[in-house]
Amino acid sequence: MLIIGIAGGTGCGKTTVVNQIINELPDDEVCVISQDSYYNDLSHLPLEERRKTNFDHPLSIDFKLLKQHLEELRQGNTIQQPVYSFLECNRTAETVPTEPRKVVIVEGILIMTDPEIRKMMDIKIFVHADSDERLIRRIKRDVNERGWNLDETLEKYQSTIKPMHAEFIEPSKEYADIIIPNNKHNTVAIDIVRTIINEKLV
Ligand SMILES: Nc1ncnc2c1ncn2[C@@H]1O[C@H](COP(=O)(O)OP(=O)(O)O)[C@@H](O)[C@H]1O
Ligand SMILES: O=c1ccn([C@@H]2O[C@H](COP(=O)(O)O)[C@@H](O)[C@H]2O)c(=O)[nH]1
């Protein structure tokens, strides 16, 4: 099994890159684990309180469960990946059965900040986009899809997203084997990553 970590700041294009990488791999050879599925269970808090959570700090992630799930997959077992709701700011009651595959992609802003998760990765990729690009993408997404208005998004960006990025996410870039520049779509980098995966798979 090949475990590939894909990190990078919010809006850098991790999900897009993952989709481009897996596009040409057979479905039964790859599975994706999203860090978002592993936000701590906040069911004990009302929505109003959950919305105040700092979701950009490593302590917001249940790394213990993520590690346990990666180990299960390595052992050939199917896991029940939690499903996260950005509108509810919480895990839902649903889970998605995720079967072990030859290639397991783990993606998320903070996945390379945890030493134990890092150690489990065979290839570590950091997707880079400039902060102004990421902020523009983030505003569009938060307002159109994730239930925040413009003022709330900008306030969050200044109070948590930007400082947490500087403190935790950007420094984790130093662990990357490959850095993908993604201010614009980067088909060359995607082709290189695909080639590396295919070489490792044979
Ligand atoms: N290279 C790119 N150029 C322009 N827009 C992009 C690029 N990569 C991603 N996007 C767009 O930016 C937004 C955030 O991308 P996404 O892949 O969800 O980022 P992340 O998972 O890192 O938060 C999406 O609307 C996506 O279509
Ligand atoms: O309930 C939540 C939980 C997290 N977030 C934000 O999501 C991003 C991470 O996701 P990306 O897709 O990598 O951008 C993180 O910056 C959190 O602030 C949220 O908005 N709501």
pLDDT tens, residue by residue, 156-180: 999 999 999 999 999 999 999 999 9
Confidence of residue 148 (pLDDT cuts 50, 70, 90): very high
Selection from 71, 58, 103, 82 nearest residue 199 by Cα: 103
User: How far is Cα 167 from Cα 172, in angstroms, rounded to an integer?
Assistant: 9
Judged by DSSP in three states, 105 sits in strand
Whether 119 is in the pocket of ligand 1, judged by its Cβ within 6 Å, is: no
Whether 109 is in the pocket of ligand 2, judged by its Cβ within 6 Å, is: yes
- What is the amino acid identity at position 17? V
User: How far is Cα 169 from Cα 158, in angstroms, rounded to an integer?
Assistant: 15
Judged by DSSP in three states, 99 sits in coil
How many percent of the chain have pLDDT more than 90? 94
Whether 82 is in the pocket of ligand 2, judged by its Cβ within 6 Å, is: no
- What is the amino acid identity at position 100? P
Can you tell me which atom of ligand 2 is nearest the CA of 86? Answer: 1
Burial class (CB in 10 A: 0-12, 13-18, 19+), 75: exposed
CA of 202 to the centre of ligand 2 (A): 36
Tell me: pLDDT of 84 over 80.
Answer: yes
User: ∠ at Cα 10 (90, 123), nearest 5°?
Assistant: 100
Burial class (CB in 10 A: 0-12, 13-18, 19+), 33: buried
Tell me: pLDDT of 202 over 80.
Answer: no
State ipTM: 0.98
User: How far is Cα 169 from Cα 88, in angstroms, rounded to an integer?
Assistant: 24
Whether 55 is in the pocket of ligand 2, judged by its Cβ within 6 Å, is: yes
CA of 137 to the centre of ligand 1 (A): 7
pLDDT at position 113 = 98
Whether 34 is in the pocket of ligand 2, judged by its Cβ within 6 Å, is: no
Q: Two tokens at 139?
A: 């505003």
CA of 76 to the centre of ligand 1 (A): 32
Task: For the chain, give every domain's residue range.
Answer: 2-201
Confidence of residue 25 (pLDDT cuts 50, 70, 90): confident
CATH of span 2-201: 3.40.50.300
Chain CA centroid to CA 79, Å? 18
